[in-house]
Amino acid sequence: MKNTTTALAAAALLALTACGGSDSYTPPPQAAPTPVPAPTPVASTISVDFSQGIDGWIPGVADYFDDDAPSETGYGWSKLPPGTGLSGMGFYLTSHNNSDNVMTYVKHQYSGFVPGAKYSLTFSLTHATDASQDCFGAGGSRGASIYMVAAASGDEPKTVKQANGEYRMNLDRGNNAESGTQGKVLGLLGSEELECGGAGWAKVTRKLDDTIAVTADKEGKLWIVLGTDSGFESANALYLLSATVNVKPQ
């Protein structure tokens, strides 16, 4: 009888042990996640060829008041003028400056940059014009009073009405021959090769080594602006042909 009682007690003890009792499990320590390094900004080149199209480019005008807004504005992808020695397509821009100041521009957003990274940009812009630098008329010299300009920004460039009633871009482009912190004058519209009174057209390239500093937005995108800033009080038309933008990390 004593042996039977001892066996039952041992069996009960084993059953309690099998139920877990106060036993606990401590998992092994987990390694901390390896931080992902931030992308390194690299140099790149934006090549623009308007002979292939103008998709993604948005036109606009700035630097005017309600009572002298530019008229006869127009734009489009158009064949270069026949009989001029130039062939192919270009981005046609035209406007009539009704004061002594108007900016005609096109803008485009580009992606693929490091979000929040700072870059330095330089521009080269090629256009076709029938303006000579030597001709003067009632509105002044078209070729020597219209300036080829470029600008860049992480935020979208827009024409915004200011407190004084003037419509200006929401970036520091400068004005006429003066450059700003976000925009530069590349050179004159007019060609040195054309004669005053002639009917020809010429291809002109303007470029500048001065840099424009820009910070890419949170999605790694930035905007570039190309166009003219006119102090010529009359009409002007031109064709944008191509541009090269060299982008270097700061």
CATH number, domain containing residue 219: 2.60.120
Q: How many residues does the chain have?
A: 250
Supply the DSSP string of the chain, one letter for each residue.
-HHHHHHHHHHHHHHHHHT-TT----PPPPPPPPPPPPPPP--EEEEEEGGG--TT-EEEEESB-GGG--EEEEEEEEEPPTTSS--SEEEEEEEE-SSS-EEEEEEEEE--SPTT-EEEEEEEEEEEE--BTT--BTTB-HHHHEEEEEEEESSPP-EEE-TTS-EEESS--EETTEE-SSEEEEEESSBSSSPTT----EEEEEEEEEEEEEE--TTS-EEEEEEEEE--SSEEEEEEEEEEEEEEE-
Give a yes or no: residue 215 inside a domain. yes
What pLDDT, on the 0 to 100 scale, is given for residue 138?
66
Give a yes or no: residue 34 inside a domain. no
109-152 confidence digits (pLDDT tens): 999 999 999 999 999 999 999 999 988 876 679 999 999 999 99
32-71 confidence digits (pLDDT tens): 888 888 799 999 999 999 999 999 999 999 999 999 999 9
Locate tokens 């606009």: which residue?
A: 60
Give a yes or no: residue 172 inside a domain. yes
pTM of the model: 0.85
Percent of the chain past pLDDT 90, that is, above it, reads 75
Check: CB of residue 182 under 8 Å from CB of residue 153: yes
Give a yes or no: residue 25 inside a domain. no
Q: Who wins on pLDDT, 212 or 7? A: 212
Beta bridge partners of 225: 107, 151
208-223 confidence digits (pLDDT tens): 999 999 999 999 999 9
Q: Is the pLDDT of residue 19 over 50?
A: no
Based on the structure, what is the number of domains in the chain? 1
- Tell me the residue range of the domain where 75 lies: 51-249
Count of CB atoms situated within 10 Å of the CB of 42: 11
Give a yes or no: residue 223 inside a domain. yes
Q: Is the pLDDT of residue 18 over 90?
A: no
Q: Average pLDDT in the 13-25 region?
A: 53
Give a yes or no: residue 37 inside a domain. no
Give a yes or no: residue 170 inside a domain. yes
140-190 confidence digits (pLDDT tens): 799 999 999 999 999 999 999 999 999 999 999 999 999 999 999 999 999
Give a yes or no: residue 177 inside a domain. yes
Distance CA 51, CA 88 (A): 6
Structure tokens at 99: 């004061």
